[in-house]
Amino acid sequence: MDPMCLFSFLLVLSWSFNTIHASLGDADPNYRRCISQCQETGCIGPKCFPHCTFSSEGEIVGRPWYMQEPLYLQWKKWDCQSDCRYHCMLDREKEKELLNIGPVKYHGKWPFKRIYGMQEPASVAFSALNLAMHFHGWVSFFILVYYNLPLKDGKKAYYEYAGLWHFYALLSFNSWFWSAVFHSRDVDLTEKLDYSSAVVLLGYSLILSILRSFNVRDEATRVMVSAPLIAFVITHVMYLNFYKLDYGWNMIICVTMAVTQLTIWAVWAGFSHHPSCWKLWLVVFSGGLAMLLEIYDFPPYEGLLDAHALWHATTIPLTYIWWSFIRDDAKFRTTKFLNKAK
């Protein structure tokens, strides 16, 4: 399996578990009482929220359009329900801290402190750094293939998989972008975009693993291999977005694609005698160790840095190694082709 896509799969898997399992904080009677009071009055003690404005019928009403802030300022604002949940959670955690009771999860998430409206600021930052590392890896790959290595007739790369890796880079950019957005604001739309992006990257990575490990270079064969998988992934994404966001079914699909890719890459690394296969093994092994952070899930330090954020941090250097392997593969294939041509 593409090791970096293994991370996407495990990311989806961890979100699924967070969603499936109920949180202790949700069932706390004091927390639920606070939520009810806030949604009825728009206030938590002396603290009131200006967007929790109620009509005489009890419905939330908004301000006229000419009194609203511009969009570039509104992005960090939350709705009434979200603010009620957030501040009730903080108040409840302060009460528990005085009683030496540890933090618990609320609605599947640890109690994080917002920064500039971001729900999980550390995960947002590390997702952005992962995106930047993928961009750096792709740019260095692009320069190597089209400027440092010989070209066919001075235009086309000798490396047969260059176009596939370019598209892989685009899907990686998209996936990490929506990961940052999702961690910034967890709502229905960002959740679906994040899940969909990760599944698309996972599905494309399966195609790429098959094409590279079996050395498929003929365009017609590539289409025959890719078409059924592309159709399946598109159907699955449409099912998640337009019919039902079924976490259990999505997990089964992701597990199947992940195990298939992992098997393909593992067998290929063992039998190909590729000069840089050690980098592939390093990324897979290190990524597996890093996933212990997901298993040993601990509360966020100072409300900011939790195990999941640290796991995001570990993928940054591994992304660099992965793109280093891709560059080495381009050099290896180009050199092999030129030696045969002599």
The predicted structure's pLDDT at residue 197: 93
Residue whose tokens read 């050099």: 331
How far is 170 from 166, CA to CA, in rounded Å?
A: 7
Q: Write down the mean pLDDT value for the chain.
A: 83
pLDDT band at 6 (very low <50, low <70, confident <90, very high): low
Contact 73, 67 (CB under 8 A): no
The predicted structure's pLDDT at residue 342: 64
The predicted structure's pLDDT at residue 59: 47
Residue type, 280: L
Query: Residue 276 pLDDT more than 70?
Result: yes
pLDDT band at 61 (very low <50, low <70, confident <90, very high): very low
Pairing verdict, β 43-44 and 47-48: antiparallel
The predicted structure's pLDDT at residue 222: 95
How far is 93 from 303, CA to CA, in rounded Å?
A: 11
Contact 176, 127 (CB under 8 A): yes
Query: Residue 212 pLDDT more than 80?
Result: yes
pLDDT band at 300 (very low <50, low <70, confident <90, very high): confident
Query: Residue 131 pLDDT more than 90?
Result: yes
How far is 44 from 128, CA to CA, in rounded Å?
A: 34
pLDDT band at 12 (very low <50, low <70, confident <90, very high): low
The predicted structure's pLDDT at residue 60: 45
The predicted structure's pLDDT at residue 111: 86
Residue type, 68: Q
The predicted structure's pLDDT at residue 175: 94
The predicted structure's pLDDT at residue 294: 65
pLDDT, mean of residues 151-163: 89
pLDDT, mean of residues 95-105: 86
Share of the chain above pLDDT 70, in %: 84
CA torsion angle for 36, 37, 42, 43 (degrees, to 10)? -140
Q: How far is CA 277 from the centre of its chain?
A: 26
Share of the chain above pLDDT 90, in %: 38
pLDDT, mean of residues 106-130: 88
Query: Residue 56 pLDDT more than 50?
Result: no
How far is 14 from 6, CA to CA, in rounded Å?
A: 12
Window from 2-6, 131-135, 157-161, 299-303 with minimum mean pLDDT? 2-6
Query: Residue 18 pLDDT more than 80?
Result: no
Q: State pTM to two decimals.
A: 0.84
CA torsion angle for 251, 253, 254, 258 (degrees, to 10)? 140
217-229 residues labelled b (16+ CB within 10 A) or e (exposed)? eeeeebeeebeee
